[in-house]
Chain A
Amino acid sequence: MDVLSVQGLEVRYGSHTAVRGVSFGIGSGEVLGLIGPNGAGKTSTLAAIEGLLRPAAGEIRVLGVDPVREPLRARASLGVQLQSTAFQPDLSVRELVALYAGLYGVRLGRAELDRRLESIGLLEEAGRRASQLSGGQQQRLTLLIALVHEPPLLLLDEPTTGLDPQSRRQLWSHVEEQRAVGRSVLLTTHSMEEAAALSDRIAIMVQGEIVALDTPKKLVETYARNPRAMQLAHGSVTLEDVFLLLAGEEVSK
């Protein structure tokens, strides 16, 4: 059984269809990269998996649980990192971790909480408010909170946007650690480098549809001889060239 199974997903906002017939699955310990231009439907897909949006059609299962019928049970198996850090401005780092531990039914003693903060280099910042942390520290905090209940599936929505190269690489290491312990990850990103480095498979999403889904290597191999891809390439065809070929070169709105 897939950790996550999405079949024929359709999400609509009024008359606008944001996601059309999207299907994919994620196996145990697999990282699936979901890439696409702005407005492609990546975040809407994640919101439907989180049970925050009711799909117009299709079926989602998180370890066999339907997030529409049993949203709380489905969310209990998900670790979520949203695009932007969004925590209560008056709470300290330690209080935030304690809050989310409580929300997932995890009992964290002071020593265990400190150990976890130390593991991501935030112990010294434990008394500070999240808004006072640097971008990299905030992303590490959101990842720690996403993992507080050791979920089988992690949803990361553009986790490295705005980070410096050091912080980005540090976050990559954390994601790789999660895969190594058998956790599955659904990652959305605009960085082809990130998608290629972290993902076992990549789904390219354009205008609400998945137009290609394969390993990074096979995606490049498939289009390596494509004349348009070769024209786009500065040298040999890369994942970015494949993406531009499939998603179009125009800047999305």
Chain B
Amino acid sequence: MIKGSAAPAPGGTLAALMSAEMHAFARSGRSLIWTIAVPLLVLVIGESQLPKGISAQAPTLEIVSIALALGIFTLGLFGYATVLATYRERGVFERLRCAPVPAWQILGARLLVQMLAVILQAVLLFVVAWAAYGVAPSLVGAGYALAVTMLAGLCALAIGQVIVALVGTAQGTSAVARVLFILLMLLDGFFFRSSRWPSALQTFAKWTPIRIATRLMQDGLVSAHWGAADVRYLLALAVWIAVLAYLGVSRFRWQAA
């Protein structure tokens, strides 16, 4: 009598998915641009804007914070959301779901690879800041930065997940990601000083995930210390992650509209 096959071990299927996603990530020029080029460009431009003669750590670390936060969020928008939307539209998810793999692993593998990319991005940025500008955070400061990097990474991926959940097509996802990217650049305070904005807009911007992440990063890196205000920011970021992740997962559809 013919016998059915046993379902494979979950660890093996996750490892296979992660290996494939890592290959796909490394081969995608777009992902590499968002991981490496964008934050480095922001760092170089920001550094070039500093008044000559300033050699203190703080201004450069603040620029590093902005560059890192921006890099993390663009990675969530372009590296994660657009890839997911493309997979869905082409039927990649449909084929993967025919395999004996738990559904959470299919998305989880991509999430884990993106988180690794976020950490790689942070390390790269600190190495360049040290090598090119002689600036390095304290060990404690680096610890804070790593914690914020992980949380901001989760928040950025949750935003990407929401976009894919709410927008039906890959083209639509890409368009929404582009608009949000511009908004993030503006809200991050890199191009325009937010102190000149109307107070309502300032308050709104202050509690957006990217500004929260930038603020927490700056405080951690520069002063290696989080005060009471930072704890509030931390809680706000946790709320953002929880709400966005719930929305993104509950509204997500495996098949294209």
Binding site for B on A (CB under 8 A): 1, 3, 28, 50, 52, 62-65, 70-78, 80, 82, 84, 86-91, 95-96, 98-105, 149, 151-152, 182
Contacts and interface: CB of A to CB of B under 8 A. Distances in A.
B98 A82 contact: yes
A91 B16 CA distance: 13
Contact of A103 (B6, B28, B87, B99): B99
Nearest to A50: B98
Contact of A105 (B1, B9, B20): B9
Contacts of B87: 88
Contacts of B102: 72
A1 B23 CA distance: 42
Given A3-B2, A82-B95, A100-B99, A76 B7 contact: yes
A133 to B, nearest CB: 15
Contact of B92 (A74, A87, A103, A151): A87
Contacts of B91: 82, 84, 86
A154 to B, nearest CB: 12
Chain A at the B interface: mostly helix, strand, loop or mixed? loop
Nearest to A74: B4
Q: Quick one: which of B20, B24, B28 has the most chain A CB within 10 A?
A: B20
Q: Quick one: which of A63, A72, A74, A151 has the most chain B CB within 10 A?
A: A72
A200 B92 CA distance: 32
Contacts of A104: 5, 8, 99-100
Q: Quick one: which of A62, A77, A96, A103 has the most chain B CB within 10 A?
A: A103
Contact of B8 (A65, A70, A71, A103): A103
6 contacts: A63-B2, A80-B98, A87-B95, A90-B28, A98-B19, A103-B99
Interface string B33-68: 000000000000000000000000000000000000
A75 B92 contact: no
Contacts of A62: 4
Given A72-B100, A90-B27, A90-B28, A99 B16 contact: yes
Given A78-B98, A88-B20, A102-B15, A1 B1 contact: yes
A3 B4 CA distance: 9
Interface in B89-111: 90-92, 94-102
Nearest to A106: B8
B5 A88 contact: no
B86 interface: yes
A76 B24 contact: no
A63 B99 contact: no
B169 interface: no
A3 B5 CA distance: 12
Contacts of B7: 70, 72-73, 75-76, 105
Nearest to A96: B20
A66 to B, nearest CB: 11
B23 A91 contact: yes
